[in-house]
Structure 1
Amino acid sequence: MTKSAAKSIGLNQLQLGVCYYPEHWPESMWEDDFRRMRELNLSIIRVAEFAWSIFEPEEGEFRFELFDRVLDLAGKYGLKVIMGTPTATPPAWLTQRYPEVLNMSLEGVTYQHGARRHYNYSSPKYRELCARITERMAEHYRDHPAVVGWQIDNELNCEINIFYSDADHAAFREWLKVKYGSLAKLNEAWGAVFWNQTYTDWQQVHLTRPTVSNSPNPHQALDEKRFISDNAISFAKLQADILREKAPNHWVTTNGMFGHLDSHELTDRTLDFFSYDSYPQFSTIFPGNDENPLLDRAWSLNLTHTRSVSPNFCVMEQQSGPGGWVNRIEMASPRPGQMRLWTYQSIMHGTDMLLYFRWRTATVGTEIYWHGINDYHNRPNRRVRELRQISQELASLGSSIAGTKYRAEIAILRDYDNLWDGELDNWHGPLDKQSVRSWFKQLQYRHIPVDVLYLRKHTAVEDLLAYKTLIYPHAAIMTDQTAQLLTEFARRGGKIIFGARTGYKNTDGHCNMAPFPGPVADLCGITVTDFTLIKGTVQPALLKWSAAPEVSWNVEMSEMKAEGFNDILQVEDPSVEIVAAYASDYYAGAPALTRRKQGQGEAWYYGAAFSEPVVDALIGLLGLQSPLAGWVLLPPQVETGIRSSGETDYIFLLNYGANPAEIKLAQETNELLGGETLNGHVEMPPYGVLILQRKK
């Protein structure tokens, strides 16, 4: 599927709204809430995603009166409504009467009623009851003038993304029968001959279970994640099919993205567009030991992943206040301007509809410390005032930005098989995270926009050629088909960059009986003759560069290290250029970073994890530049992104710093939020936002 064919929300005006829970508040408050929403130029609300007991207080007894009054009142004030199917929180009568719907831990412990997402997707009874409540709601609200769309469930695979109920084991067997057709093929794919795991009856086959070594069969574990994804998608499709039949004039979405779920396939099969829940403060809870960490700016990587599913998407929940659960506040209160900054962060990355979580902070339950726009006292506060500013800006700006596309010439390649395989492999997952973080962070600080592109079965070379440079850090699983695709990309002028441990597994997770990097060895013109994990007494090797690249990182070139894992390379083709060699340890002098011309393009191989200094050097060697170079000079604390209509670029500048940021413009430029013409030195306030207009 090409980028242009991806499913996007289709709006001609940016829309702003809130998540609202009328069942949490006295009915006497509703009208005042809706009146104030409209005064703030909000136009849409999401309701009902946790309200199953309101609609069906007892099995088979349906009541719609409460939400009928809510929707009628919302319509009176000109508010449109997104209805949530309430299947993320089954009622107590359901879990009591049908305990088989509950999920279990790996050890077989049943999760009880009392939180949310404690059900499994496989239970026939749960699917039956979910289908019934979805059908009744769709039939009842299909013609209500306030309703425009539906959110399926809520945050599929959030809280928990592994499932081990009896129904899940049974469903897994049926999934495997369809995939493999016979136990002989299953045994071959799972390498069951090892440790005498060969299966002779389907009833012997299960999802992973506790083992003595606490080390599951890796091929079984990979299939388990594929099954969980397919199972979640089929659960969503069950509801989506009902909604399309019963309420054909409404759109269908759901909010993600979470583990063990192929969000691209989910969208292709069940949704009109994808939605995301944006909480930038999550990035600040565990910032790591990075020098100059991105903090809330790091959330832009998540939004970039989301944009890969739907180039124009909905943020169904946008953080507006401090966050926490039950007995603690985990996140600091947004400083003045940060809520507005995060709003434009989402919009810059492709959001055309954005709803804040939530209208008013809950006074009861698990999320009493997860704050919304309004505080408990329901009186005006600075978040309300900030929202007023945002809504006024979007009212005048929204028709220009809606439908425009984020523009980048560089993409980080991802695929679900490697993501899921890397969870079990203790070197692969952390190595990949380090490299992606290093690339994203350095591109951010160099003001170079980047996309994420997921490789899928139907990905064509035209999808890749939308970019000049692709970064595929550690694709342990590599197919011949993918290798051919990447080779054609390079031949037609693209640059592709690989990292250590590329191409040594097939799609079953078996190690290839071929020299690494397997299917892309010919493309790169090298093989791996030796390797070592960097751990314990083994230190990262120093790098010796054949020519000193231009760098901005504060590290001496002679002190740069090859981190994480070291592949010792051997040149197999005389056209290969050794860009850097190892300068220490027993493999000193061996190639560490190579480049090979391939047609009109290039293939690079780096035998380690990408660190920020090394990425910084590579950016210079690859000739990557900011699209704003020579036009505007920006400090590192400012993020930039470009949404383009084809004729006009809308250039977002976001200051994530608590201090003012000075930018320098080389020519007069229209700034859309303030309606001013800017030139020369301009000071952005802390957490400030500018949107510059540039005609092509």
Structure 2
Amino acid sequence: MSESTAVRTAGAPAGWLPGVGTISYGGDYNPEQWPEEVWVEDVALMREAGVNLVSVGIFSWARLEPTEGVFDFEWLDRLFDLLHSAGIRVDLGTPTAAPPAWFYATYPDSRVVTRDGVVLGHGSRGMVSPSSPDYRRACARITRALGERYGSHPALALWHVHNEYGAPVSDSYDEHSVRAFRTWLQERHGSLDGLNAAWGTAFWGQTYREWEHVGAPATSASVVNPAQRLDFARFTSDALLACFTAERDILHELSPGVPVTTNFMATSCPSMDLWRWAREVDIVSNDHYLTAAEVRNHVTLALDADLTRSLAGGKPWILMEHSTSGVNWQPRNVAKRRGEMARNALSHLGRGADGILFFQWRASRSGAEKFHSAMLPHAGTSSRVWKEVVELGGTLADLSELRGSQVHADVAILWDWESFWAQDLEWRPSVDHSHRERIVAFYDQLWRDDVTADLVHPEADLSGYRLVLAPASYLLTDAAAANLTSYTAAGGTLAVSCFSGLVDENDAVRAGGLVAALHDVLGVRVDELLPLREGDSMTLAGGRFEGAAADVWAEDLVVTTADVVATYVDGPAEGEAAITRNVHGEGAAWYTSTRLTGASLTTFLDGAYADAGIVPDRTLPDEVEVVRRRSVDGSTEFTVVLNHGTEDVVVPGAGQVLVGDEVDGEVFVRAGGFAVARADVAAGSVITEA
């Protein structure tokens, strides 16, 4: 063991990467694309940049197993030794996201079949049918071979199974998947009677009498049974998860003590129920790429990071991939401007990441992603991007004290993939009502208010939160509805937005009507859904809501026990209740029956904040992001301040300023810059600015 490795091992927290005692920094390394003389140059430059962890082997199946059952590991042996000699740890991928050409030729029935019946072939990225027995056997074979060879290598810090499950395709309608789906349905519903009841097959005469007649919900003449579609989405997530756990179990057997992960795409690849997945990985990791078309994409970046931390149960996690600058697949691949890469990285760090990695180390000269940015770009070490990569490596090394600290939130936002799958199916009341838009709108207001939020499953323990927000909970199970009701009765504050609590786990409207699951806690019933025409809007009246605007959606509310906070001045529900507040037990529940945006949403949340005892901080400009981490023992708080705006700001903060200017005891943060503060909870603070 090298001296540097020994130091890292001594500082590694329990449950984290073995032998790693700093913030991890690096990215995907694909040396098979380059002659070996370039490897030596790469490793030297990695050391210059402060890289201490690289992901290798992710797309290397064709080189590792050039023909079926014949392996070539000599090149990977040399790479491991080269990296280890430089003190760089390895995140070793199983290459099962990229089956070789020989696999497609030998097992053509394993190829993915789309919902429209198109058979997908070789030549791109992505996996074959997750239900193919031949694919699963091949995955087990290559994984076992890698585990036996590298499971105890001193450079190994982490196993990285597959790559971005569910991207670019997730569901397959091949015969293997159809048969596996039937088995999955038998386990879930028990009998055909149970299946018919759950799917409501009496509608349109869809009743099944033989299991062999049940298929995957392929494209049909009209809208396919929505409960069948929802179950197939669940099945797809479980089929992919079974592929992961099979490889994970092999690696646990052959490489004990080395954690196993797979890189999620928490908000951009919605085909997996990551609450279930998160329980199966040793460390949560995530890939995030800015959507260039979003003007405030730094806000949705923060949302993605908060969701990843929530999936990790508050434990440290790894940002496995993000970009140094522009990406390669969006309609307009906007380059990041000076300082943006560092702000992106520090936002993830501030929200709980203890590893900051990129795709990829060296920009590829060939292939579909040759215009994707990299740590070492085509322009080389004279480039702006390279200089910022080196600067960021130094900054992260200086911030290693944050490692292992945690983020604490007083607010929870409900997030449920199954509800999203159901709401996104066809024939919903309005194409203008989007669960994603509602969650981002609520989250954006919290971001502006310097209020940190966790994302939680509706059935999760909510007792630690002062305020729970349900911006988009179309589907609620009985258990989830009971959970929200009891949370409020025990003294919590609940705020629910329109089109929530409509259906049960089978996408069926409950007996008792619309929003029946939340009648008691909200103190209202919904008699009718009243979506608006495109471009129409409404005005509200009542107290702080006098003159407030709303659009897209209204509901015909029947108030039972709630107080009416605002009414509709016009629109399809003119004169009726629009916003209500209901005291339930020791707590209170707010409900808006319309889509609120801008100032009207701010006013709605201000009412919920007041009930929850939360004071929003609106003293800084809207483009300044503030997030905090606290040491496990509670003695030290770290504050990350990111200035996404074009004007310099002064941030209140007592204590010594290590880098940057001090103005009357406060911290100066330049436009596009960031600051990291360290404060003893009982004493002053220390500021590091970049």
TM-score, structure 2 normalization = 0.91
Partner of 1:207: 216
Which digits, 9 at most, give the CA deviation of each residue in 1:90-114, with x for residues without a partner?
0001101111121011121110100
Q: Distance in 2 between matches of 1:337 and 1:39?
A: 19
In the alignment, structure 1 residue 191 sits paired with structure 2 residue 187:
no
Deviates most, 492-501 or 560-569: 560-569
Equivalent residue for 1:542, pick from 526, 539, 542: 539
State the structure with bigger RCO (CA 8 A, min sep 6), 1 or 2. Answer: 1
Q: Deviations over 1:99-153 (max 9, x none)?
A: 1121011121110100011411000000001100000110011121111111110
Structure 2: stretches of 5+ with no match in the other structure: 1-13, 682-690
The corresponding residue for 1:661 is 648
Q: 1:681 to 1:467 in 2, by over 3 A?
A: same
- How many angstroms apart in 2 are the aligned matches of 1:7 and 1:108? 45
Question: Structure 2: how far apart are the matches of 1:585 and 1:34?
Answer: 65
1:592 paired residue number: 578
> CA–CA distance in 2 between the matches of 1:123 and 1:442?
45
Distance 2:371 2:454 in 1: 34
Report the residue type matching 2:366 in the other structure. V
Q: 2:430–2:531: 8 Å Cα contact kept in structure 1? A: no
Deviation at 1:671, TM superposition (A): 4.8
Asked if 1:444 is matched to 2:452, the reply is no
SS at structure 1 position matched to 2:338: coil
1:428: Cα distance to partner? Answer: 7.3
Which residue in the other structure is 1:480 paired with?
Answer: 478
Classify the secondary structure of the residue corresponding to 2:380: coil
Corresponding residue for residue 290 of structure 1? none
Aligned-partner residue type, residue 324 of structure 1: N
**Map of 1:201-600 to 2, 5 A cutoff?**
201-213=210-222, 215-257=223-265, 258-269=269-280, 271-280=281-290, 282=291, 284-285=292-293, 287=294, 293-310=295-312, 311=314, 312-325=316-329, 330-398=332-400, 400-425=401-426, 426-427=428-429, 430-456=433-459, 459=460, 463-535=461-533, 539-545=536-542, 547-548=543-544, 557-558=546-547, 560-573=548-561, 576-600=562-586
Q: Partner amino acid for 1:115?
A: S
Instruction: Summarize the Cα distance change of 1:627–1:199 in structure 2 as closer, same or farther, 3 Å threshold.
Output: closer
Q: Is the 8 A contact 1:7 1:267 kept in 2?
A: no
SS in structure 1 at match of 2:595: coil
**Structure 2 CA distance, aligned partners of 1:92 and 1:670?**
60
The Cα of 1:377 is off from its aligned counterpart by 4.6
* Structure 1 residues 92 and 626: alpha-carbon distance in aligned structure 2, compared to 1, 3 A threshold: farther
Higher mean alpha-carbon deviation, 151-160 vs 251-260, is at: 251-260
Deviation at 1:482, TM superposition (A): 1.8
- The amino acid of 2:326's aligned partner reads P
- What is the DSSP-based 3-state SS (H/G/I as helix, E as strand, rest coil) of the residue aligned with 1:379? helix
**Which amino acid is 1:661 matched to?**
D
Distance 1:564 1:422 in 2: 16
Cα 1:448–1:248 shift into 2, 3 Å: same
DSSP 3-state at the match of 2:173: coil
C-alpha offsets along residues 527-554 of structure 1, whole Å, 9 cap, x if unaligned? 1133311125x93332112x226xxxxx
Would the alpha carbon gap of residues 670 and 99 (structure 1) be closer, same or farther in structure 2, given more than 3 Å must change?
farther
1:110 aligned counterpart, secondary structure: coil
Structure 2 counterpart of 1:196, which letter? G
The verdict on how the C-alpha distance between 1:370 and 1:351 changes in structure 2, with shifts beyond 3 A counting, is same
CA displacement at 1:251 relative to structure 2:
0.9
Matched residues in 2 for 1:116 and 1:304: separation? 28
Report the counterpart of residue 131 of structure 1 in structure 2. Answer: 140
Deviation at 1:611, TM superposition (A): 1.9
Pick closer, same or farther for the CA change 1:335–1:439 going to 2, 3 Å. same
Relative to structure 1, the CA distance from residue 359 to residue 472 in structure 2 (aligned partners, 3 Å threshold; closer, same or farther) is: same
Name the CA distance, whole Å, in 1 between partners of 2:434 and 2:367: 39
SS of the counterpart of 2:251?
helix
Q: Read off the aligned partner of 1:76 and give its amino acid letter.
A: S
TM norm structure 1:
0.90
Q: Structure 2: how far apart are the matches of 1:649 and 1:440?
A: 23
Cα distance in 2, alignment partners of residues 563 and 84 from structure 1: 48
SS at match of 1:438: helix
Residue deviations 1:450-507, cap 9 Å, x none? 2211234xx2xxx312211111123222233222211221122211011222222111
SS of the aligned residue for 1:654 comes to: strand
The whole-number CA distance in structure 2 between the counterparts of 1:449 and 1:9 is 27
**3-state DSSP of counterpart to 1:477:** coil
Contact 1:504 1:511 in 2 (8 A): yes
Structure 2 SS opposite 1:543:
strand
Alpha-carbon deviations, 1:278-330, whole Å to 9, x = none? 212x2x23x3xxxxx413332211112111111321011121122115xx883
One-letter code of the match for 2:285?
Answer: S
Unaligned runs of 5+ in 1: 1-5, 288-292, 550-556
Residues 155-191 of structure 1 show CA distances to partners (whole Å, capped at 9, x for unaligned) of 0001122211111111111111111121111111111
**Could you tell me how far apart the structure 2 residues matched to 1:322 and 1:472 are?**
34
- Alignment partners' CA distance in 1, 2:676 and 2:288: 21
State the SS of the aligned residue for 1:424: coil
CA contact (8 A) 1:329 1:370 kept: no
Whole-Å Cα distance in 1 between the matches of residues 76 and 17 of structure 2? 26
Distance 1:503 1:622 in 2: 19
- Structure 1 vs Structure 2: percent identity of aligned residues? 29
Pick aligned residue for 1:120 from 129, 145, 150: 129
* Residues paired across the two proteins, number: 657
SS of equivalent to 2:333: coil
Q: Residues 423-470 of structure 1, C-alpha deviation per residue, up to 9 Å, x if partnerless?
A: 2044578432222121111222222222211234xx2xxx31221111
How far is the alpha carbon of 1:201 from its aligned partner?
A: 1.4
Taking a change above 3 Å as real, the CA distance of residues 640 and 297 of structure 1, as seen in their structure-2 partners, is same
Please give the alpha-carbon distance, in whole angstroms, between the structure 1 residues aligned to 2:259 and 2:507.
Answer: 38
Distance in 2, Cα, partners of 1:28 & 1:623: 60
Q: Distance in 1 between matches of 2:648 and 2:167?
A: 37
Listed one character per residue, the Cα deviations across residues 563-593 of structure 1 (whole Å, up to 9, x for unaligned) are 22211212212xx221111111353221111
Q: Deviations over 1:595-651 (max 9, x none)?
A: 111222111111122323221112322336998978x94111111111112222211
Q: Which moved more, 1:472-481 or 1:102-111?
A: 472-481
State the 1:679 CA deviation. 4.1
Q: CA RMSD in A?
A: 2.3
Tell me the residue number matched to 1:553. Answer: none
